[in-house]
């Protein structure tokens, strides 16, 4: 039995302004594909003999993750919610413990949700080669056949061949200098560390107990106090917050004597920066990658991505230009790794553009903050058929709702009534209210908020079908 474990808890800050804290890169379409990076990761598993995947993400992303799995028709997939981030070793331990409690044992295929692979057949071949090694008790890592002396990746040095399927691991090497990386490539014995793994759930837990028993003890306790909510498994925050933070590499793989490596030459990239995305993307004759509404003239070797408006470039080269509804990044491609410095500046200035987009996903649909002033805010709200916002009230703002299309079922104090196209209603300050779409098409409405404070934390939820506090 092979069960994929998809790790989807990263923040992806180096791909700002598209990737944000509340909507990071793994949930975004980073290429011209119709699928997000998470969906592409799961989609490339088709053709392998696997069970439905287990997805590990944090509480803030649970509804985005659930919706993207629903779009793939994965109704049996499970979502494990990390109460707080403690890196990969504890996260994988939670998944392994959960699976052992349900299936006794299984081979786990651990994948990151934000990697890209061009050659799916080669990926499948490497996965199949790893299965006999995992069945034999090996903890398998997948080593990427390197194409250049990258100093931004960790490396794996291969040892002796194992049954012509893979190799023993001689050692793991931290990110080297450029000169060291060049030497590794020249030797032919080193591979990039992909962060993908396969092993039996029980074998991982055995090795974790040997080398980091404190992690396993806390994870067992967190599982014993877990709760189930639809497809979500919630682990106890108070318990899990006591867990030491450690990656699977440090906690287990660099210590175990059972580490094995299967080579993979499948056009892999971890998409760690805009320049990395340019590297793997299809380019025109001038070396440009253009996504969205883009016009280029006398432009070379640039990555230009428009989300909502026209971008025109003239007489430039080696640039990254990324446009979203509320932010534009212009950077030299060679400096694309340093986007994190922009994030630091926003945090120190108490800005919010690194946290969320202007358009925000919710379990019932989404809203777009069209305009904001000192005492007003205008949103365009989309409510999916059958969905309902929480029963709530606000201490500091009143709301006007104008229906653009569809039908709204409105609870306004003690009254419940329908509001249809070109009709409106008013919710006074402090009034208990709710909004629901009883129809079969999306409900579109304009919301005009007015008041002394318009923050999202001025929501007192009195009832919510999605389990939000």
Same domain, 102 and 250: yes
| Same-domain pairing of 56 and 20 | yes
Question: Is 469 a domain residue?
Answer: no
Of 322, 345, 368, which one is at a domain's C-terminal end? 345
Nearest to 333 by CA among 301, 367, 297, 370: 301
Same domain, 19 and 133: yes
Do 312 and 366 belong together in one domain? no
Q: What is the mean pLDDT of residues 57-77?
A: 89
**Which has the closest alpha carbon to 198: 248, 138, 143?**
138
Is the confidence at residue 339, as pLDDT, over 90?
yes
Among 365, 436, 349, 439, smallest CA distance to 401 is for 436
- The per-residue pLDDT for 263 is 97
Give tens-digit pLDDT for 146-204: 988 888 889 999 999 999 999 999 999 988 888 888 998 989 899 999 999 999 999 99
Are residues 184 and 227 part of one domain?
A: yes
CATH code of the domain in which 451 resides: 2.60.120.10
Rounded to the nearest integer, the mean pLDDT of the chain is: 94
- In-domain check, residue 352: no
Question: What pLDDT does 457 receive?
Answer: 87
Find the CATH number of the domain harbouring 94. 3.90.550.10
Mean pLDDT of the 303-331 span: 96
Cα gap 417→433, rounded to integer Å? 11
pLDDT at 422: 95
Give the pLDDT score at 441.
97
Domain boundary among 323, 345, 367: 345
**Residues 224 and 124 placed together within one structural domain of the fold:** yes
Percent of residues, the chain, with pLDDT higher than 90: 81
Same domain, 263 and 137: yes
334 falls within a domain: yes
Same domain, 324 and 397: no
CA distance 129 to 292: 40
| Residue 131 included in any domain | yes
Q: Is residue 468 part of a domain?
A: no
**Angle between helical axes of 88-103 and 213-224 (0-180°, round to 10):** 50
Helix (H) or strand (E) holding 195: strand 190-200
- At a CB cut-off of 8 Å and minimum separation 6, what does 257 contact? none
What is the helix (H) or strand (E) element at residue 452, kind and residue range? none
Question: What is the SS3 assignment for 373?
Answer: coil
Q: What is the extent of the structural domain holding 194? A: 2-269
pLDDT at residue 32 tops 70: no
397: confidence class by pLDDT, cuts 50, 70, 90: very high
Examine the domain organization and report whether 170 and 22 are in the same domain: yes
> Contact 402/445 with Cβ under 8 angstroms?
yes
Q: Which helix (H) or strand (E) holds 57?
A: strand 54-58
Flag whether 106 is in a domain: yes
Q: What's the number of domains the chain is made of?
A: 3
Whether the predicted pLDDT of 398 surpasses 70 = yes
* Residue given tokens 């380019």 in the structure block: 283
Q: How many CB atoms lie within 10 A of CB 15?
A: 24
Query: Which of 248, 269, 290 represents a domain boundary (last residue)?
Result: 269
| Mean pLDDT (whole number) for 211-234 | 92
Does position 432 have pLDDT exceeding 90, yes or no? yes
- pTM, entire model: 0.88
Cα angle for residues 324, 454, 22 (degrees, 5° grid):
40
Same domain flag for 68 and 88:
yes
User: How many other CB atoms are found less than 10 A from the CB of residue 375?
Assistant: 12
Same-domain status, 65 and 191: yes
The pLDDT > 70 percentage for the chain reads: 100
Alpha carbons 359 and 367: distance in angstroms, whole number: 6
The position carrying tokens 């991982």 is 204
Whether residues 159 and 201 fall in one domain: yes
Q: What pLDDT does residue 272 have?
A: 85
Cα–Cα distance for residue pair 65/331, rounded to 1 Å: 30
User: Does the residue 350 lie in any domain?
Assistant: no
């Amino acid at each position: 039995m092979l069960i994929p474990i998809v790790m989807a808890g990263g923040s992806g800050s180096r791909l700002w302004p598209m990737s944000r804290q509340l909507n990071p890169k793994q949930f975004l379409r980073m290429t011209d594909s119709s699928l997000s990076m998470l969906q592409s990761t799961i989609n490339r598993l088709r053709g392998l003999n696997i069970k439905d995947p287990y997805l590990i993400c944090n509480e803030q992303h649970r509804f985005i993750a659930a919706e993207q799995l629903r779009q793939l028709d994965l109704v049996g997939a499970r979502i494990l919610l990390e109460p707080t981030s403690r890196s990969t070793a504890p996260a994988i331990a939670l998944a392994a413990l959960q699976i052992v409690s349900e299936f006794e044992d299984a081979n786990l295929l651990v994948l990151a949700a934000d990697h890209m692979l061009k050659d799916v057949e080669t990926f499948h071949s490497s996965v199949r080669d790893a299965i006999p090694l995992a069945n034999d008790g090996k903890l398998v890592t997948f080593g990427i056949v390197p194409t250049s002396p990258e100093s931004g990746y960790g490396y794996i040095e291969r040892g002796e061949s194992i049954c012509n399927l893979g190799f023993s691991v001689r050692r793991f090497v931290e990110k080297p200098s450029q000169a060291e990386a060049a030497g590794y490539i020249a030797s032919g014995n080193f591979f990039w560390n992909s962060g993908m793994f396969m092993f039996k759930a029980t074998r991982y837990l055995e090795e974790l107990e040997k080398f980091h028993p404190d992690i396993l003890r806390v994870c067992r306790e967190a599982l014993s106090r877990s709760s189930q909510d639809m497809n979500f498994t919630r682990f106890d925050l108070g318990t899990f917050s006591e867990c030491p933070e450690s990656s699977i590499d440090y906690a287990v793989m660099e210590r175990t004597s059972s580490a094995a490596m299967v080579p993979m030459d499948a056009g892999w990239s971890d998409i760690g920066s805009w320049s990395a995305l340019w590297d793997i993307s299809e380019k025109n004759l001038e070396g440009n990658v253009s996504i969205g509404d883009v016009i280029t003239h006398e432009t070379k070797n640039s990555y230009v991505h428009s989300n909502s408006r026209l971008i025109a470039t003239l007489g430039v080269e080696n640039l990254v230009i990324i446009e979203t509804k509320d932010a534009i990044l212009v950077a030299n491609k060679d400096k694309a790794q340093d986007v994190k410095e922009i994030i630091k500046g926003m945090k120190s200035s108490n800005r919010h553009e690194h946290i969320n987009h202007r358009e925000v996903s919710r379990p019932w649909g989404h809203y777009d903050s069209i305009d904001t002033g000192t005492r007003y805010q205008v949103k365009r709200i989309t409510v999916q058929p059958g969905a309902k916002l929480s029963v709530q009230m606000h201490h500091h703002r009143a709301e006007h709702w104008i229906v653009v299309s569809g039908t709204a079922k409105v609870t306004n104090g003690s009254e419940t009534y329908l509001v249809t196209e070109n009709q409106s209603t008013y919710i006074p300050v402090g009034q208990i209210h709710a909004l629901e779409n009883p129809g079969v098409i999306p409900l579109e409405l304009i919301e005009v908020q007015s008041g002394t404070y318009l923050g999202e934390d001025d929501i007192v939820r009195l009832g919510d079908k999605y389990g939000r506090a």
